[in-house]
Chains A and B, each alone.
Chain A
């Protein structure tokens, strides 16, 4: 609040809102990914470092469905096989109530092979037109990512459920590296975007104008704000998803089961809750949320590359910690805070437009030459955009180790 007042007093309300609206969608995306970290941590106390890579792979799925490859290669078969395995594992978990292991395997196999064949059909061949439109591709990518989440849990984490907490953590880091290399070997290491003709025109349309009365604050500033349609969609979607998720966790039976598992896994299982299935559902939910925003994030300008998940993942993880890890609302809040704070940092690059800078110069505290010397040594604030966000996180953690909304030992989730 103080910060908002400070910016508004110095630069006017329009400036404040402009930067605020730039940070909001960024924060919304980070928040939705942070939820994935927080939910999983809430239930099995595991920091799933491969979550950022799920986000990255979600963009890759969309890319491969809307952009025909330049030349046919073995990657086509590798992806199809991977999809088959993912669906097999997911079906295996889904059919865990089957009385007979053989039947369970058979049914899962049918689904896996079916999914692989379907994938082979929907993947565009070299030089051919893609079969799916952008939104259909996004829907498929969400399904793939949910299955990837479940597969990850089944293959990498479930066998380690009883081992010390450090072991699955190492596995998570290993998975993260594996996914990065997998993506690099199949889709290459170069930065890519969705092809222009595949992206829906709605998003690149005119920006929306929001106007208010002239000189809305004490400055005689123009009071027109511009917002891109994509940003509006992202923020609206994020708000809807967050509300939906809260309702799901708080009001439904399954949500109750999730909360029960978060409180005490052993007791929950004694009460007849299938803990493994709840954990699988949590992974699927987290991965699905990440997959939902991933293509929108790319449309906002971040190029697709095997490394993109790492940076986003670290940001989202920090947000989850900032908000209080294990707490879904906290993760959302943390994401928003990190996104918005980092948006304001470059504003300070133009220090001399601040009223107090002039005042400090007059008082002789700062000289212009001294300032430029300082900048040449340590650089401009803009390059520390992420650094400032992390520093804020550290500051909060120092004074409130449980994060903004974390409670010391109360129930999680």
Chain B
């Protein structure tokens, strides 16, 4: 008896689910066009360590798809997404990229998330002459040696330069102490910061390294204090940055802190508590309640998914929308999309999206100004002063 009930209730649930799905698609198809669907691939980590990011990407593009199909599709054809999971793992990313590239129906790909995955996948995409558009990979080499790799996020070295510009030009501070993690990210960020700082005639008063294995940064902070800086750059990840902030405040160092997107994580405030307050951090995108467009995306996203969007949802929403625009203007083929992306190469031809004006240089990198967030009451909010577009 119980077994029967179970089967019955399951069947009922399944029916309910189908019914609601059908309901949704019917509602969309009212305005939606007929004909062959236009297929865009989405490659993101839906499982694994970066699953939270991949989920946001999936939800972001789902919102874009719903909006496009509700508005009549692309030139009368419905948009369809082919979501593939790379698990944040370069080996999986390679399989995924081959699968997407060898499917002639897929016209372009939004992805991957992790730099290592984008690097693993880009070969297959370039061979198939298909655009790979990453909303999140910041490693400098991602767009190198490939005509088909694009991104709408800043690169690591651009980020360092932006941080230096922000320090010197926007905040007007001259004496900088650098505390950096001795990994690729930390040293890379530090080097690009120093390069720009030299141009801006900033004074690097001290430069101190730390290792992720250590959790006592007081000695480093004493060295920093002795150099008497006006601002401290933490070139590292949020876990250590939070400890550094805490110990700095404990030692009575009240100097302004600034960090890269490695610090841009809610865990920074969770771990750092009060010490995290006031830290400047670069971020790819921040929701601004004062901005009409930003607010609309935020509300629509929350209504559709019952979840708050993050920067990656906005970034991938924008990426998909730009590809859709390419198809609308140049036609539905891999080549047409690539031609369009190549033509978006100046402020004048830039795509004005949710996250700002997107246009590409010859490498396929995006020169969008970095947004600067500040920690206020335990949350990242848009800083009052921002970098101006170049």
Contacts and interface: CB of A to CB of B under 8 A. Distances in A.
B185 interface: no
A389 B274 CA distance: 32
A19 B222 contact: yes
Nearest to A312: B215
B211 A386 contact: yes
A157 B214 CA distance: 31
B211 A385 contact: yes
B98 interface: no
Contact of A385 (B206, B219, B226, B227): B219
Nearest to B274: A196
Contacts of A60: none
B206 A349 contact: yes
Interface string A14-30: 01001100110010000
B269 to A, nearest CB: 12
Interface residues of A, number: 38
Interface in B213-244: 213-220, 222-223, 226-227, 239, 242-243
B243 A380 contact: no
B252 A345 contact: no
Contacts of B247: 301
A384 B211 contact: yes
A228 B247 CA distance: 11
A274 interface: no
Interface in A331-356: 342-347, 349-350, 353
Nearest to B216: A26
Kindly state the interface size class of chain B when it binds its partner: 20 to 34
A384 B211 CA distance: 7
A89 B58 CA distance: 51
Contact of A301 (B182, B215, B223, B274): B215
A347 B252 contact: no
B250 A382 contact: no
A303 B273 contact: no
A346 B223 contact: yes
A193 B220 contact: no
Nearest to A387: B211
Contacts of B223: 346-347, 349-350, 382
Contacts of A382: 208-210, 219-220, 223
Contacts of A243: none
Interface in A184-233: 190-193, 196, 204, 207, 226, 228
B246 interface: yes
A311 interface: yes
A23 B217 CA distance: 11
Given A18-B222, A301-B250, A346-B220, A380 B209 contact: yes
A347 B215 contact: no
Interface in A213-261: 226, 228
B267 interface: yes
A319 to B, nearest CB: 15
Contact of A346 (B182, B219, B243): B219
A300 interface: yes
A302 interface: yes
Contact of A191 (B220, B271, B273): B271
Contacts of A23: 219
A367 interface: no
B310 interface: no
Contacts of A302: 215-216, 243
Contacts of A18: 222
B207 interface: yes
Contacts of A380: 182, 207-209
Given A193-B271, A346-B208, A349-B208, A379 B219 contact: no
A350 B214 contact: no
Contacts of A191: 239, 242, 267, 271
A373 interface: no
B263 to A, nearest CB: 14
Nearest to A300: B216
Closest 10 CB pairs of A and B: A380-B209, A383-B209, A383-B182, A302-B215, A382-B209, A346-B219, A346-B220, A349-B208, A383-B211, A22-B218
Interface of B: 182, 187, 206-211, 213-220, 222-223, 226-227, 239, 242-243, 246-247, 250-252, 267, 271, 273-274
26 contacts: A18-B222, A22-B218, A191-B267, A196-B273, A300-B216, A301-B246, A301-B247, A303-B242, A343-B219, A344-B219, A346-B208, A346-B222, A346-B223, A347-B223, A349-B208, A349-B209, A349-B223, A379-B182, A380-B182, A380-B209, A382-B209, A382-B219, A384-B211, A385-B210, A385-B211, A386-B211
